[in-house]
Amino acid sequence: MALDTGDTAFIIICTALVMLMTPGVGLFYGGMVRKKNIISMIAMSFIAFAIVSIQWVLFGYSLSFGTDIGGFIGGLNFLGLQGVGLDGEGIPDMLFMVFQLVFAGVTLAILTSGVAGRIKLSSFIVLGLLWTTLVYDPLAHWAWGGGWAGELGALDFAGGTVVHISSGFGALALAMVIGNRAGFGKYSMEAENISTTLLGGALLWFGWFGFNAGSALAADGLAVNALVVTNISAAAGAITWMLAAWIKGKPSSLGMISGAVAGLVAITPASGFVGPMSAILIGGFAGVLCFSALLFRERRGLDESLDAWAVHGMGGFWGAIATGIFASAAIGGVDGLIYGNVNQFLIQVLDASVAMIYAFVVTFILAKIVDKVMGLRVTEEEEYVGLDISQHGESTTA
């Protein structure tokens, strides 16, 4: 198959859309922290994107998509992008490389949730590099690069395990290693700027069209299906989380936008395999599930500050399982549980569980190592004045 200009044009645009999700995560998170940490939160997303951009072209892409080694990791044959050319099947190989790069970037940005307002920037950079290399790259290889999960037939259309389970359970492990923010549970740490969070959420929803539709890797009917179910699931999640929050008090806009993100996360692995009515169920249930996960985390007194675990971890886990339930052969060629394919359901459960355990355990170990070697956390005084001033020498208020 030769290059297709339509497909190529479409994936270039999708790549740009997904890139916008990274600063989107920054704004989404930035609005939820206190005024003294907002620059730090937004900056960490940009920094994550910059680090991963270089890591990916040097060796990350090769570890993810190079020749398979034992089902676990890719070989070094694409080191420094050697052999990644401007021609390919349908779209140029180089375009596929950069489309995958923007996914890796946004994943590391999501991980910052677990360390909000208390991590040393230098340690975040080192940890981020290690995490992308040892957690993200293997998971990407398992799902899409010829690894064991893909070989087994696990379905992950746009990265439910790779992006969301990995960053969500990684953030949980990080939060457990670095510890709660000073004063957590003792005094109010309410979101400082909801409108910034809403803007970030809007950019995420927008960018997600490229994330899921682009994962078809062609401007075709499957891409249209992904776009449509993505929007449906986001809307359903926004409504159910908002309703759940309404029952407990007010229909907060923060709950509404968190629900939309939960719906987006959950439909991600399923978007090439399920139809519109399934998308309502997947997104709608994600809103309620992720909200419950957030309440559970709060009850446990665990400061996974911006709920990457509740929204991306649990939402991603549900999405992976839901793919095994609702997949329809008429859309993506594979049937799920509701069409009698128990096997697919079991594969999904196995894939999501392995991804969850791997991401949690390896992140925990990496965080412990970085903590021992260079210290993960800022000093008490630095945390008190805020990371904007202590890590960047900048402030939104001065």
Partner 1 sequence: MIVKRVIAVIRPEKLEDVKSALEEKGYFAMTVHEVKGRGAQKGICLQYRGKQIKVDMIPKTEIEMVVGDEDVRPIIDLIRKNARTGKFGDGKIFVSPVEIVAGIRTDEEIVS
Binding site for partner 1 (CB under 8 A): 35-36, 183, 186-188, 379, 381-382, 384-385, 389-390, 393, 397-398
Q: How far is the CB of 183 from partner 1 (least distance, A)?
A: 6
With 0-12 / 13-18 / 19 or more C-beta atoms within 10 angstroms meaning exposed / middle / buried, residue 326 is: buried
Q: Which is nearer to partner 1, 47 or 232 (CB)?
A: 47
Furthest CA-CA distance within the chain: 62
Q: Which is nearer to partner 1, 1 or 398 (CB)?
A: 398
Q: How far is the CB of 391 from partner 1 (least distance, A)?
A: 10
With 0-12 / 13-18 / 19 or more C-beta atoms within 10 angstroms meaning exposed / middle / buried, residue 380 is: exposed
Q: How far is the CB of 381 from partner 1 (least distance, A)?
A: 5
Query: Cα dist. 292→307, 345, 364 in Å?
Result: 11, 24, 24
- What residues does 73 pair with on adjacent strands? 69
With 0-12 / 13-18 / 19 or more C-beta atoms within 10 angstroms meaning exposed / middle / buried, residue 72 is: exposed
Q: How far is the CB of 394 from partner 1 (least distance, A)?
A: 11
Q: How far is the CB of 197 from partner 1 (least distance, A)?
A: 21
Would residue 304 be called left, alpha or beta, if left means φ above 0 and alpha means ψ between -120 and 50 degrees? beta
Residue in the structure block whose two tokens are 């339930």: 325
Distance CA 229, CA 261 (A): 14
Q: Which is nearer to partner 1, 300 or 397 (CB)?
A: 397
Q: Which is nearer to partner 1, 301 or 393 (CB)?
A: 393
Q: Which is nearer to partner 1, 218 or 389 (CB)?
A: 389
Q: How far is the CB of 374 from partner 1 (least distance, A)?
A: 13
* 347 CB-near residues (< 8 Å, 6+ apart): 152, 153, 154, 155, 324
Q: Which is nearer to partner 1, 187 or 250 (CB)?
A: 187
